[in-house]
Amino acid sequence: MSKLLDQITALATPVVESHGCELWDVEYVKEAGTWYLRIFIDAEGGVNIDQCEAISRALDPILDEKDLIPGAYTFEVSSAGAERQLKRPSDFERFMGKLVEVKLYKAHEGRKEYVGDLAKYDNGDVTVNVAGKEITFEKSQVANVRLRISF
């Protein structure tokens, strides 16, 4: 699967960048019996529907021509979103000090979710400041980390 995502990333990146955006993530998943190829984009100041549509229209024929995915799938281009998942080390560096939600595979001190300021990222280990206390979770404990918006 990662080889497929790498190939799609390589095709999508120049198209996304030519529209003044950055490629945030590529996802190929099966949901309710349907396969979805999702391209998540970001831009300074956010992404609008017109950018998503333009990138979709530009990238769709390229994907059809390369025919990397056998069978039918639904293709979507969307914003990475305000509460986007952080995956790469560069994502964590970019949002250091920001509010995040850490979801764990198994409960730690009776909880599987922690919300706090991202304090450190070290080779998959994530440290958050929760109510003035730094808590570090090892890579093997962390299911995912997302930005969290507080109102």
pLDDT digits (tens, 9 = 90+) for 37-67: 999 999 988 999 999 999 999 999 999 999 9
Query: H or E segment at 8?
Result: helix 2-18
Do both 48 and 68 map to the same domain?
yes
Last residue in a domain, options 52, 79, 106: 79
Query: Which pLDDT does position 151 carry in this prediction?
Result: 77
The answer on 130 and 72 residing in a single domain is no
Q: Which residues pair with 120 in a beta bridge?
A: 127
pLDDT of 1 over the 70 cut? no
Residue-level pLDDT at 150:
82
Q: Nearest CA to 78 among 14, 26, 34?
A: 26
Buried b (16+ CB within 10 A) or exposed e, 29-40: eeeeeeeebebb
Task: Give the model confidence (pLDDT) of 22-40 as tens digits.
Answer: 999 999 999 999 999 999 9
**Domain span holding position 131:** 85-147
pTM assigned to the model: 0.81
Look at strands 99-108 and 111-122 and give their pairing: antiparallel
- Given pLDDT bands bounded at 50, 70 and 90, which one contains residue 11? very high
Q: Which of 2, 50, 62, 57 is nearest to 26 (CA)?
A: 2
Kindly report the average pLDDT of the chain as a whole number.
95
Between CA 124 and CA 89 the distance in angstroms is 8
> In the chain, what percentage of residues exceed pLDDT 70?
99
What is d(CA 7, CA 62) in angstroms, rounded to the nearest whole number?
A: 12
pLDDT (tens digit per residue) in 66-102? 999 988 999 999 999 999 999 999 999 999 999 999 9
Residue 68 and residue 35 share a domain: yes
Residue 132 is part of a domain; what is its CATH number? 2.30.30.100
Domain count, the chain: 2
Looking at residue 60, which CATH number applies to its domain? 3.30.300.70
Classify residue 90 by burial, with Cβ atoms within 10 Å: 0-12, 13-18, 19+.
Answer: exposed
